[in-house]
Amino acid sequence: MSDKYWFRGKIDGGAHCGEWVMGFLHFYRADNPIAIIAHHETGEMFRVLQETIGQCTGIADNSGKLIFEGDIIKGCGCKTSTYCSAIKWVKDRCGFFIFEPNESEECELMGIERLDPKHTEVISDIYSLCTYDCGECAPSKLTRLIAD
């Protein structure tokens, strides 16, 4: 199956707690949903934190790393190479979009088709502490701006 159907999430508990797992998403129990991701290579099942689940865009960055919903990217061919943006699925538009903070603390929304993988680098995600210092990259700022 194509990687564009994969999801990832941070493992909730156990020896691998807090680590990312990538694979196939399953939900159990309609009354109190539990999110499970089956590892894409081993099939091993992991319970994941629902707020960290993101779908793969099917696009890889300049190093071959897959880009997921919730990733923070640098470059993208849309702004200067030091500008950071976040990837988000927009339900009412049925697609992935690039959220770029602008000077007025708002976000510009651009379709992911504008992304140039050759000039894009995944540097972090909105769920982790970003260690890349590009001046514009503040995961808490991006998280606040792209929140539903």
Question: What pLDDT tens digit does each residue of the chain (148 aa) get?
Answer: 466 789 999 999 888 988 999 999 988 776 777 889 999 999 999 999 988 999 999 999 999 999 999 998 887 655 444 567 888 888 888 888 888 765 555 566 778 887 888 888 898 888 875 444 444 444 455 555 555 4
pTM: 0.79
Which amino acid appears at position 31 of this protein?
Answer: D
pLDDT of residue 10: 92
Tokens standing for 98?
Answer: 């690039």
Query: Residue holding tokens 């991006």?
Result: 142
pLDDT of residue 144: 54
Which amino acid appears at position 23 of this protein?
Answer: G
Strand partners, 108: 100
Give the Cα separation of 47 and 71 in Å (integer). Answer: 21
pLDDT of residue 133: 46
pLDDT of residue 7: 94
Structural domain boundaries of the chain? 3-52, 56-146
DSSP classification of residue 15: T
**Long-range contacts formed by 114-118: CB under 8 A, 24+ apart:** 114/76, 114/77, 114/78, 115/59, 115/67, 115/73, 115/76, 115/77, 115/78, 116/75, 116/76, 116/77, 116/78, 117/59, 117/60, 117/61, 117/62, 118/62, 118/77
Instruction: Give φ, ψ of 130 to 5 degrees.
Output: -80, 125
Q: What CATH number is given for 56-146 in this structure? A: 2.30.30.290
pLDDT of residue 103: 54
